[in-house]
Structure 1
Amino acid sequence: MTTLTFETVRELGLSLPGVIDGTAYGAPALKLDGKILACVPTNKSAEENCIVVRIDFDRRGQLLERHPETYYVTDHYEPYPSVLVRLSKITRADLSKLLADACALTSPPRGSHTADTKRRAKAPVKTPR
């Protein structure tokens, strides 16, 4: 298996709707609606060539139990809805699915107040004549 890099993460992530390139704590990141979707971890507790990905706590528990060679968490990341991913151990297909899941978790549901407000904010303002 070829070791993936953040460039692979970026390529897969930017193919998802609404995901943009950015930074988080000075490190490369992918964001959706202003929230971090995935990034290079900056905390010293993380291993090299890893990423941190937004994920719900139940799914994180499943991944840690089933694939501890690929997914892990350190004390620093424990309280956050995220998981650390060893890029040398994950397949491109699994990374793509993980990023899609993170995207679904991060984006507000259609029809939610936040989504409606953002759509209205982008709409042109009509002024009476």
Structure 2
Amino acid sequence: MSDDPLDRLRRLCLDLPEATERLSHGEPTWFVRGKNVFVSYADHHHDDRLAFWCAAPPGTQEALISSDPDRFFRPPYVGHRGWLGVWLDVPVDWEEIAEIVVDAYRVVAPKKLVAELDVRH
């Protein structure tokens, strides 16, 4: 597996049922059925930080940021809706990232696709 964070994130996202990728706001972004965003790569501010933003279950954003503010943050634009920012330019636990991505998918995917995911995992 590649060490490139974008490649790794892409594989995690596209492994989910009916997930697609296209550019949104100039960044790779992953959608459920081409409509609902669940993860967006975040390198567009070119501030020497690399991250992704994702949908998150209620309370997750606050819990993760308070437990580890060096790895998690409240992203601009979507943070007020509970979305989570995850830094990728720090030591990354890719198993944890996989769980975060699946949780993001579950937040936005229709029940039928969540059920399909449950059968696969």
Give unmatched runs, 5+ long, in structure 1: 111-129
Give the equivalent residue in structure 2 for 1:73: 74
Contact 2:30 2:40 in 1 (8 A): yes
Encode CA deviations 1:35-92: one digit per residue, 9 max, x unaligned.
Answer: 1111123664976211111113411111111121110115544313311111133311
Contact 1:70 1:85 in 2 (8 A): yes
SS in structure 1 opposite 2:101? helix
Contact 2:22 2:29 in 1 (8 A): yes
> Identity of counterpart residues, as a percentage?
13
Is 1:103 the counterpart of 2:80? The answer is: no
Distance 1:74 1:38, change over 3 A: closer
Query: In structure 1, what residue type is equivalent to 2:23?
Result: T
Give unmatched runs, 5+ long, in structure 2: 113-121
Distance 1:103 1:74 in 2: 18
* Alignment root-mean-square deviation, CA: 2.3
Distance 2:76 2:25 in 1: 18
After TM superposition, list the pairs within 5 Å mapping 1:111-126 onto structure 2.
Answer: none
Distance 1:74 1:27, change over 3 A: closer
Is 1:25 the counterpart of 2:9? The answer is: no
Contact 1:24 1:36 in 2 (8 A): no
Distance 1:106 1:47 in 2: 29
Count of residue correspondences: 108
Give the equivalent residue in structure 2 for 1:88: 89
Query: In structure 2, what residue type is equivalent to 1:95?
Result: I
Q: TM-score, normalised to structure 1's length?
A: 0.71
Distance 1:99 1:4 in 2: 17
SS in structure 1 opposite 2:64? helix
SS in structure 2 opposite 1:85? strand
Distance 1:23 1:107, change over 3 A: same
Distance 1:63 1:86 in 2: 12
